[in-house]
Structure 1
Amino acid sequence: MNTLVENDRRFLNHGFTSPAADIKYYGLMNQGATCYLNSVLQVLFMTKEFKEAVERHTSENPDTECFELHLKNLFADLKRYNPVYTFNITKKLGIKNVFEQRDAAEYFEKILSLMSSTASQIFHGELTHTIKCSECRTETNTDGPFWHLPLALVDSSSEDYSVVDGIEKFFSTSEVSGENQMYCEKCDDKADATFKSLMTHHPDVLMLQLKRFEFDYRYMVYVKINHFVNIPFTLQIPENQIYELYAVVDHFGDLRSGHYTATIKSDDNDIWYKFDDARVSRLDYQPFQVDNAER
């Protein structure tokens, strides 16, 4: 088996150029249209706490067949080979058609849901959703876990979208009335209501999903929202939790086609790198504007 694996690696390396001498990171082979998966895997590999938790879990449970083991082997290869193949990962994830474009956020969550260790908990958060009836003032609380916070770009009133404004809106109180009234069990009738979300458990690493696709009822298809997005280098969540930007997964194209890349800051030297499947390049500039935001 080891000989077969080594032969596969030599075969896959043929035809690819190695990264520049000053770049110590390696790329991932695109099996067809698996750039969405490659971008997510590179973010996980470059998340130091996550990588260490995966390696710790597999060391403590060497005989356990779990998804962590596949990630550990992949992470080890990313330190030695260029490019690294992902056949075992796609097989474990049940990806049969590698030529079909998928959603990066969907597979980010799928990977975390298959894990059994505390590694996935690094991205785990808790939200409490509160609904208050405007008539009887009765409050109903619902707790729920999350892997990411979805931010809708369709509500942007300007040409540019601000992540800071999106976070503020996500956690602000909203009202429903008229045709959108909710049913209140205590009132036994529909009534106006207010909604508010509170983060009751802050994840160590926060993932934001920018919802760039909306349904166009004129053409009955999903279309991409091409707003420019201003992403702050530091982001403050209500309850004074502050996060620092270290990775962005970008999508180019439309819903059914396109390409994913990842731009990630190294924890070792604070230098930003672009991961584009088998190609890894160093950015000789900070990928955010002088006003401390990436656009």
Structure 2
Amino acid sequence: MKSTGRGLTGLKNLGNTCYMNSILQCLSNTHFLNEFFHDPSFKMHLNRNNKTQGKIGEEVAAVIKALWTGQYKCIASKNLRYVVGQYERQFGGIEQQDSHEFLTILMDWLHSDLQTKQMQISTSLDQLPPSEKAWIEHFKGKDSYISELFYGQIKSTVKCTRCHKESATYESFSNLSLELPQDSNICYLENCLDMYFNGEEVRGWHCPKCKSNQDAIKKLDISRLPSILVVHFKRFYADPDTMATVYRKKQTLVKFPLSELNMTRYLARTEVNRNKRLTTFRYHLYGVSNHYGSMESGHYMAFCLNNIHQKWFKFDDYNVSSIDASDVQASAAYILFYSCLPDRPQSDVR
């Protein structure tokens, strides 16, 4: 049976693989990644000398291309599941897994599989700004299309309250993992971002200038914004009131913008010029990985904005149906996919 259109093909559930399916549909609707994998020359960028030998990149590309032929109502990602199961056994079994954990590991695999592009450095490392030096060192001097699209960098600044000495460190990320407010049935994405980036007191920090332990303020800022911003909500937590470890789920409804997510105020002031490679710091939503139910008995679906039809669709394993934009905000939202890149019609993707 034919699909109703390109990019509207479902994925068979191969035994609790809905977590994998929801992530693959969101990645499939990442337009620039989709175009990259549709270009046969992407194979020139495959790294055959790493742990996964380029196999993850090849299989993800094969799935994405099949999803966009418009020829199938649904397909089975058996080869991809087999390959990821070789490198992480948990993803090859029939137990339900966490879509955020799968996405984070998959991003690292894809980056490693495509990490063949030498970074252009015009001066010695020691003469570069600390943030740029940390970026190059983290990626060992080699970029990938994945790091260019999905990876950003956090600046962590600790400031002594006595002498005001500041110490900064930098860490790369492929997604932001945000806490939800306590005892709240409803909140806004902005609330979660503010909680993450607001300063916090640190007791007993060893100040290198005072040469003694002092109180300090720790502050996080973004030093490098990614083109694709992925946001994860920490919905699962260990119940402190139970003897055995029992995980509960926060059902908080997070209200998030479908467009015009402005990340400017979370950007480190010293790093604005470095981020001018982006034409805007405003993001639009194009994908959501949703989780329904509990940790023990749950189900994943994806909501994705199809770039050809310019409509939202629900991907529930092999079932694909259109939804209203007003239905995208739901208390099941687990991972959000935002882009600050200009939309390009995908009609020429084959």
TM range (shorter): 0.7 to 0.9
After superposition, the C-alpha distances for 1:207-250 in whole angstroms (9 at most, x for unaligned) are 00000012221114221111111111231112472111111111
Give the aligned residue type for 1:134: T
Give the aligned residue type for 1:70: E
Distance 1:131 1:62, change over 3 A: closer
Residue aligning to 2:239 = 216
Q: CA deviation at 1:52?
A: 1.6
| Aligned partner of residue 246 in structure 1, secondary structure | strand
Q: CA deviation at 1:60?
A: 3.2
Q: CA deviation at 1:185?
A: 3.9
- Picking from 268, 275, 279, the partner of 2:308 is 268
- Picking from 173, 196, 199, the partner of 1:173 is 199
| Aligned partner of residue 114 in structure 1, secondary structure | helix
CA distance in 2, matches of 1:98, 1:281: 28
CA distance in 1, matches of 2:299, 2:251: 15
CA distance in 2, matches of 1:87, 1:157: 41
Q: Is the 8 A contact 1:39 1:260 kept in 2?
A: yes
CA distance in 2, matches of 1:256, 1:109: 21
After superposition, the C-alpha distances for 1:62-87 in whole angstroms (9 at most, x for unaligned) are 89551221122112222233321112
CA distance in 1, matches of 2:46, 2:182: 49
CA distance in 2, matches of 1:159, 1:123: 30
Distance 1:185 1:215, change over 3 A: farther
- Picking from 303, 320, 325, the partner of 1:286 is 325
| Aligned partner of residue 131 in structure 1, secondary structure | strand
Residue aligning to 2:58 = 69
CA distance in 1, matches of 2:206, 2:306: 50
- Picking from 250, 263, 277, the partner of 1:225 is 250
Q: Aligned ranges for residues 79-228 of structure 1 at < 5 Å?
A: 79=69, 80-94=71-85, 95=89, 97-115=92-110, 116-117=113-114, 118-121=144-147, 122-153=149-180, 155-156=181-182, 158-176=184-202, 180-219=203-242, 220-228=245-253
CA distance in 1, matches of 2:46, 2:73: 26
Residue aligning to 2:16 = 33
TM-score, normalised on structure 2? Answer: 0.71
Q: Is the 8 A contact 2:18 2:317 kept in 1?
A: yes
Distance 1:225 1:192, change over 3 A: same
CA distance in 1, matches of 2:238, 2:16: 24
Distance 1:288 1:281, change over 3 A: closer
Q: Is the 8 A contact 1:148 1:208 kept in 2?
A: yes
Q: Is the 8 A contact 2:46 2:57 kept in 1?
A: no
Superposition misfits of 4+ residues, deviation over 6 angstroms: none
Gapped runs of 5+ residues in structure 1? 1-16
CA distance in 1, matches of 2:228, 2:96: 26
| Aligned partner of residue 101 in structure 2, secondary structure | helix
Q: CA deviation at 1:133?
A: 1.4
Q: CA deviation at 1:22?
A: 6.0
Give the CA RMSD over aligned residues. Answer: 2.4
CA distance in 1, matches of 2:246, 2:35: 43
Give the aligned residue type for 1:171: F
The number of aligned residues is 270
CA distance in 2, matches of 1:207, 1:225: 20
Q: Structure 1 vs Structure 2: percent identity of aligned residues?
A: 27
CA distance in 2, matches of 1:63, 1:106: 23
* Residues 223-232 or 22-31, more deviating: 22-31
Q: CA deviation at 1:37?
A: 0.4
Give the aligned residue type for 1:109: T
After superposition, the C-alpha distances for 1:158-197 in whole angstroms (9 at most, x for unaligned) are 3212111111232222223xxx443334434332111111
Give the aligned residue type for 2:191: D
| Aligned partner of residue 60 in structure 2, secondary structure | helix
Q: CA deviation at 1:268?
A: 1.7
Residue aligning to 2:289 = 249
Q: Is the 8 A contact 2:179 2:196 kept in 1?
A: no
CA distance in 2, matches of 1:184, 1:214: 33
Distance 1:63 1:198, change over 3 A: closer
Give the aligned residue type for 1:236: N
Q: Is the 8 A contact 1:34 1:98 kept in 2?
A: no
